[in-house]
Amino acid sequence: MTDLSQPVADAQPATAPGGVAPPLWLLAELTYRCPLHCAFCYNPVDYTGHNRELSTDEWLRVLREARALGAAQLGFSGGEPLMRDDLEVLVREARSLGFYTNLITSGIGLTDKRLGDLKAAGLDHIQLSFQDSTQELNDFLSSTRTFDLKQRVAASIKRHGFPMVLNCVLHRYNLPHVDKIIEMALAMGAEYLELANTQYYGWAHHNQAQLMPTREQLDEAEAVVERYRRTHGERCKIFFVVPDYFERRPKRCMNGWGAVFLGVAPDGAALPCHAARALPGLVLPNVKDTPLSDIWYESDAFNRFRGLQWMKEPCRSCEEKERDLGGCRCQAYLLTGDAANADPVCDKSPSHEKVVDVTRLAALAREPREQPIVFRNDANSRKLTAARAAPAAQAVDNLAHHAPDSAPNNGGPTGD
């Protein structure tokens, strides 16, 4: 296994003239706090160990440095970014710096007052997540009773004149409802609908056996999407993000490591991709003590898998390597134990059979709800962290398979 704690001797010189382009997209993960408990959350399962948040001033500095570097798009995410009461201050600064801003939210806590304040602060766009078109499944998958509230929030977003993306993460539970989800988006007046098949990182990876769909489910859903695109494509642009476990070539993850994406976690850790925190040995620089420019151009973490020089076989000699850049580093680690291996989604990878096995098992699985889902919440995060630190199977067995509290949520802190 490649030891990520050791610097790479032949890493690309990031500051070489003409070598590395500046980041285009800053993702500000303002907090890991979240009123929902989604089973497919991409946040790290050990998020409770990283829950100290940057101050308002620190975030303002990050925004200024990122804009000076060249970043133009800014996503406010989390957790639930509305849990921060300085969100409006950050949006206002982002707007004055010239960012195009997007709020990525569950909608919980997005009151009329906050919508008005965010509009006045200059927020450009809102991405609202739903878990399903039915109250039953929406509330089950988030382990909260929030479906009705989200409906009201969607209407308020439109009333305030924001362009709206409706986002729904797809998996074996809700793929059969794709037509209803599209109808819901149309009824709400969403300009865009993102149907994003689950990517298996973080909590989704932990719940992979329960969430993985079958090939038939995907094919049927894609046919439905095509049908609606033909009839309603003018009113609502529908994106269908294909799950790469069913592909034979990997995705060009993040459009290349250290190429366009710069994430900052709630505690200030700088992330070359959303899931990089899961790569053991990769030392993530922190915006608290390192200028963003140094992080982007000089840090080992951002140079580690930049370009092509880090590749091992079969990627190194593959004629398609410039197209997919070796696929996803986090997936390579999760499935092979080595982030420098080829992404096993690729059928040239010696580990491709592992991906095939996962999809085969999904095809054999019976009713998914017979198996317990581990919901994202603080208690489960602490237990999973402990189980990983000391591989005590007992600790995993003890996991709470339901959120500790499924009471209606008004945007207050996670109730555990």
Q: 252-271 mask for ligand FES (x: CB under 6 A)?
A: -xx-----------------
Measured from the CB atom, is 278 or 387 closer to ligand FES? 278
Please give the residues from 79 up to 118 whose contact with ligand FES meets the rule CB under 6 A: none
Q: Is 346 annotated as a binding residue?
A: no
CA 367 to chain centre: 26
Question: How far is Cα 189 from Cα 235, in angstroms, rounded to an integer?
Answer: 8
Pull the structure tokens for residue 320. Answer: 């398609």
In the complex, least distance from residue 341 CB atom to ligand FES, rounded to whole angstroms: 12
Measured from the CB atom, is 149 or 335 closer to ligand FES? 335
Measured from the CB atom, is 59 or 302 closer to ligand FES? 302
Measured from the CB atom, is 92 or 274 closer to ligand FES? 274
Measured from the CB atom, is 26 or 273 closer to ligand FES? 273
Number of chain residues interacting with ligand FES (CB under 6 A) = 10
Q: Is 276 in the site for ligand FES (CB under 6 A)?
A: yes
Q: What residues are paired with 164 via a beta bridge? A: 126
Question: How far is Cα 187 from Cα 204, in angstroms, rounded to an integer?
Answer: 29
In the complex, least distance from residue 401 CB atom to ligand FES, rounded to whole angstroms: 26
Measured from the CB atom, is 306 or 383 closer to ligand FES? 306
Q: 289-328 mask for ligand FES (x: CB under 6 A)?
A: ---------------------------------------x
In the complex, least distance from residue 332 CB atom to ligand FES, rounded to whole angstroms: 8
Please give the residues from 193 up to 232 whose contact with ligand FES meets the rule CB under 6 A: 201
Measured from the CB atom, is 251 or 383 closer to ligand FES? 251
Q: Is 330 annotated as a binding residue?
A: no
Please give the residues from 49 up to 78 whose contact with ligand FES meets the rule CB under 6 A: none
Q: What residues are paired with 105 via a beta bridge? A: 128
Q: Is 38 annotated as a binding residue?
A: yes
Please answer whether residues 369 and 401 qualify as being in contact, where contact means their C-beta atoms are separated by less than 8 angstroms. Answer: no
In the complex, least distance from residue 91 CB atom to ligand FES, rounded to whole angstroms: 27
Per CB under 6 A, the segment of 1-9, 94-102, 164-172, 274-282 that binds ligand FES is 274-282
In the complex, least distance from residue 355 CB atom to ligand FES, rounded to whole angstroms: 14
Q: Which residues contact 332 (CB under 8 A, 6 or more apart)?
A: 326, 338, 339, 340, 341, 342, 343, 344
In the complex, least distance from residue 156 CB atom to ligand FES, rounded to whole angstroms: 33
Q: Count Cα atoms within 13 angstroms, Cβ side, for 117.
A: 14
Q: Is 330 in the site for ligand FES (CB under 6 A)?
A: yes
Phi/psi at 227 (5° precision): -60, -45
Question: How far is Cα 309 from Cα 291, in angstroms, rounded to an integer?
Answer: 25
H-helix or E-strand spanning residue 105: strand 100-105
Measured from the CB atom, is 103 or 330 closer to ligand FES? 330
Q: Is 345 in the site for ligand FES (CB under 6 A)?
A: no
Measured from the CB atom, is 35 or 79 closer to ligand FES? 79
Residue linked to tokens 């973490």? 301
Inter-helix orientation angle 178-188/147-159, to 10°: 40
Look at residues 20, 101, 121, 23 and name the one whose alpha carbon lies nearest to residue 68: 23
Look at residues 271, 293, 296 and name the one whose alpha carbon lies nearest to residue 284: 271
Residue ranges that bind ligand FES, judged by CB under 6 A? 201, 253-254, 273-276, 328-330
Binding positions: 34, 38, 41
Binding positions for [4Fe-4S] cluster: 34, 38, 41
